[in-house]
Structure formats: C-alpha cells, structure tokens
A and B are shown apart, each in its own frame.
Chain A
C-alpha cells in the first residue's frame, strides 16, 4: 500500500494552510478566467503561468491544479449560458445545456455540471491514485526505444484520431515538430534554425505558441468573423437546485460518463472530445425520456460534463507517470513543470514523492473547493459574462501579451506571439486542429532525444525499435491506427462501386 502511504503524506502537504490558500486562489482565478468566452482551460493555464514565478514548486503546481479545475468549470458555465463552447470537449455540453438554459432551467444545468464534475473528478483522481504507481512500476523498465515508440503513438493518436481530417491533423503536428527544431540541439550543442537570433537559441516557448494560437488567434478570428453578430446570453432564472427527478436522471449519467472518460484520457489518446460525444450518445440511447434530447435533457449535460472532467484527470496519468502530454492543457502543465526544472516521469515519484503526492492530494482538495466555492458564487461568475465584448477581448490581449513578454523581457517574443496569432487565425478559420501543433512543439524535442539515445545504445542499429517487444507493439498499433481507417474507407468505396 505504498500509494496509500504516499497519498496520506500528500494530504499533509496539500492541507498546509499556505498550500490550501494557493489551491483556493487557483480555483477562483481559474474559474474567473475560464468563464470568459473563448478562453479554454489550456489558455487559462498559459495566461496565469507568470503569476507563479515567485512560488515554490509545490505551491505553484497546487495552484495550477486549482486553475485547471476552475477553468474547466468556468468553461461549462459559458457553454451553457452563451452557447459558445470554448473548446471541442464542450460541444456536447452545449447541445443540451444551452437548450435547458433557454427553457429557464439554467440553474439545474449548471448544478448538474458542477456536481457531476465533482463526482467524476473525485472518482477519476481516486483511479489516478491507484493506477499511477502501477504505470510507474512498468515505466521504470522502459528504455529510450520504448519511450520513443510511445511518443510516436501519442503523436499519431493526437494528430489523426482526433479531429475531422487526418491530413490537417498531421500538417498541424509537423508544423509543431518543425517549431520544436528551433534552438540548440540537446545532444551536440549544434544550433538549428535559429538564424543567429539569440532569442531563438533557447527554442520557441510553448507558452508563446499556445497563447498566440488560442488567445491572439481566437481574438483575430472573433473580431474578423463573428464580432458583428448579435449574441444571446441566457438569464440565470429559477432555482439553482436540482429536483428529485433531476438527481435521479443525473446520477447514473455521471457514473457511466466517468467510466468512459477516464480510460480515454489515460491511454495516450488525449482529447476529451471523443468521450464526451460517446457519453452523449450513450445517454441518448439509454434515456427513458429520449424525446427530451434536443429540448434540454439533463442527462445530456450531466454525462458529457462528467466525461470531460474524468478524461481531463485521466490525461494526468501519462503526464505524471511517463512525462507525455496528450492534450494542449497537459502540454502547458508540462511547461510549468519544466520551468521548475522538474521532468515528470516514473523517477519523479521516487525523487520527489512530496511534490507528486501533494499535487494528487490537492486535486481531491481542489474538487471540494470548487464545489463549495462555485455553486454559491454562480451568480458572480455569470456577471463576468455580461462584460461588453470590446473590453473583454481587449483585456484578454493585454494579459496574453503580458504572459509572452514576461518570459524573457523581449519584444521578439511579442513578434512571435503575433505571428502565431496569424497562424491560429488561419487554423481556426480553416478547421485545422491546434492541439497537435502544441504537443508536437513540446514532445518533439523529447522524442528526438529518446530516439538518438536508443540508437546510441544500439550503436546505430535501427532494429532496436522492432525487436524489443514493447516498442515494437506500440509502433505496430501506431501503424494500424494510420492505415486501418484508410483501408476501411477504400473498402467501403469499392463496395459502393
């Protein structure tokens, strides 16, 4: 029961008054920023990164856990009341949630999403507690070849399984990998693609890319394409409380969605989009009130919201135990770790158990804070939504530029920020997924290091990737993921003649 002892010790860390305070501030800030329309969890975490500059690593990471949860909850509030899903994982929630709000049932919709997130989040953290030590045990036996194969698997699933088009997903991934080449080669010290600019020798910062793509790109897109459209904010009318019937319909949905969301998040397949839609269609199929779907069925909010939260927690399994981020938010969290010189992975559980278990324990605490803080304060968060759009987006850009500038105090970062903003604008307009680029940038250099290490050990013999069973399995599954959909489409095409 090493995990249990570790967790108990983690609670010692997380419940220290100062760490509780950081968690509390994190949840509040995360919710406040997450409520802003168009600001998803990844951007919230990226924009609030500079705030932790002066904190010790444990306090900072606990604050981030709070920001992460707060941002997710804030995002669902916006989705339900404004029908502007901040990220693809909230689209399923928007379907029924906004309907409920239109029918004057915004209160129960927000309540089922908050309580569902709490239930799913807590169960998912418990599963994380149990699963992490097991994965760590296995991961300790991994060598560079296994890590490389695993990262290739993660790249492929993120780029090709998620999103509408494999072609666009791969293009986005390779752009991210190309950006990851910039800077000094970690193995030989050779500068690559820096063009003699000193600021580029350090490489391109993931925060600049993420804030550029998400904040600047989104603002440019909204200004150019939707700022002249009328917008309807649903009122928070009626009771906040769920009726007995609401509870009866929500409970099973929360639990089923947790069972779907957590595994999806924890295998390196990233993205909460698939589990939220799976949960939505499952609830639709099982519901005793199928006629309610499309008119505001509470199961249709409870399920996807719980699935979203469970999968977001599941994503922390590969992040903490293997050091592999599989969502844009996880990529930013990894940057936060790296800023403190911490490399997540199996060794982290042995070298800094205080930090890891403190972080995991603070997620239990964060979930509770979220529930007791946010449900009563919902009225305040809703007010944030009525800030006029011109001032809102102006404020978002002030904070986005602050985040980029405070990294190195250099206007070069502001120029790259704007360049990434233009890229993000085009990607948003032409439906090119953004997450593969962010993950490619941070994971690309790590994958290259593992690849070259593996070859150094084998004296340049590339067969290591195919003769070691674990590495070979991951690569085979990856190949299958790329080829299978294509073959299936061909076959279907032939049958139709």
Chain B
C-alpha cells in the first residue's frame, strides 16, 4: 500500500484552513437585515466545505493514497532538487526585501541571477548583467512611456522613478 506523507500533510492543511475559517467566522456578526443572514453565513459554508473536502482527502491519503494520481512513469520528473528550489525561493525573497530599498532594477537583476542559478546556470555575473539590461529596459518603458511609477532605489539618481 502506498502512503505519501506529503498527501497527508496537504490534506491536514486543507482541514486546518477550514478550522481556521470556522474560528474566524465565530467572531463575525450574524445580523443581516432583510436577508436574515449576516456576513458570517457564507464563511461558515466555506469552512464546512473545506473541512469536508479535507476529510475526504485525508481518508484517501490514509487508504491507499489519493485517487487517480498520474503514474510515476507518466510524470517525467527527476528527484526533488532542493538546490534549485532554494535558489528560486531565495531570489523571490531577496527581490521582496530589495524592491523598496534597492529599487526595481536592482531587485529584478538579483532575482534574475538567482533564478538562472537555480536552473543550473553557472555564469552568474553574465546572468546578472542580462537581468540588469532587461529590468532597466522594462523600468524605462513603464516609467517613461506607460507612466506607471516604479521604485528607482539606488539608481534613482540615474533613472528617476519613485
């Protein structure tokens, strides 16, 4: 019998979300004027739906695994590559931290280099340069042509922006 820890964890996640919504719903008012139902009615329905769906998922996960999953051979996957996952995640987090401070262009170039690294590129300096060129072009297009304001950050003296 196949049992996947991840399937159990995801099922529990759906259940937990349902429980969380149920708790939040308890604090919402129930008066709703003519309709006789308030802003807490639909959240309650959603909470019940999540709990029922989560319970079904958990039942399937514990009795032979989720039903009708694609077979391993159909997937064409290699083993989970944590390094790749980590680099892409690091790029996104760095981008979040840098966007106000360093600005759109710098944050974008760092993100670009990190993601390329995650996909196995070893020429990080070259990647950062390409990223810089792309984000600079996008920045100038959005700020000068489309009038959408983006943060200039460290390069504000050069390119303008917020």
Which positions in A face B, CB cutoff 8 Å? 50-51, 53-54, 164-165, 167-168, 170-171, 173-175, 177-178, 181, 185, 187-188, 190, 192-193, 216, 219-220, 223-229, 388-391, 393-395, 397-399, 401-402, 405-406, 409, 411, 414-415, 417-418, 421, 426, 429-432, 444, 448, 451-453, 455-457, 459-460
Contacts and interface: CB of A to CB of B under 8 A. Distances in A.
17 contacts: A53-B147, A167-B66, A168-B57, A174-B49, A174-B50, A178-B21, A181-B42, A192-B43, A193-B21, A390-B118, A398-B135, A401-B92, A402-B108, A405-B150, A418-B96, A431-B69, A444-B46
Contacts of B63: none
Given A174-B53, A415-B96, A223 B118 contact: yes
Interface string B28-67: 1100111111110111001001100110110010000011
A173 B81 CA distance: 30
A177 B147 contact: no
Nearest to B56: A167
Contact of B111 (A188, A397, A455): A397
Interface in B99-120: 99-100, 104, 108, 111-120
Contacts of B36: 455, 459-460
A181 B96 contact: no
B1 interface: no
Given A228-B78, A406-B148, A460 B34 contact: yes
Nearest to B60: A167
A340 B81 CA distance: 43
Contacts of B121: 388, 390-391
Given A181-B21, A192-B43, A394-B113, A54 B146 contact: yes
A426 B34 contact: no
B53 A451 contact: no
A225 B118 CA distance: 12
B63 to A, nearest CB: 12
Q: Is the interface of A mostly helix, strand, loop or mixed?
A: helix
Contacts of A405: 99, 104, 150
Interface range, B side: 35 or more
Given A216-B92, A391-B116, A398-B134, A430 B50 contact: no
A216 B91 CA distance: 11
B106 to A, nearest CB: 12
Contacts of B125: none
A167 B131 contact: no
Contact of B108 (A165, A188, A401): A401
Contacts, number: 222
Given A54-B146, A187-B35, A223-B118, 5 more contacts: A170-B49, A177-B46, A181-B43, A225-B78, A426-B6
Interface string B58-99: 001000001111100001111011101101110111011001
A430 B28 contact: no
Contacts of B85: 220, 223-224
Given A223-B87, A227-B119, A397-B91, A390 B78 contact: no
Among all A-B residue pairs, the 7 with the closest Cβ atoms: A460-B36, A390-B119, A390-B121, A390-B116, A455-B35, A223-B84, A394-B115
B17 to A, nearest CB: 6
Given A171-B14, A178-B21, A398-B111, A418 B119 contact: no
A455 B130 CA distance: 58
Interface in B124-162: 127, 130-131, 134-135, 138, 142, 146-151, 162
A176 to B, nearest CB: 10
A396 to B, nearest CB: 8
Nearest to A415: B96
A394 B96 contact: no
Contacts of B10: 426, 430, 432
Nearest to B151: A409
Contact of A401 (B81, B82, B95, B146): B95
B92 A418 contact: yes
B108 A220 contact: no
B149 A414 contact: no
Contacts of B149: 409
B146 A53 contact: yes
Contacts of B29: 188, 190
B134 A395 contact: yes
Nearest to A426: B10
B119 A389 contact: yes
B117 to A, nearest CB: 8
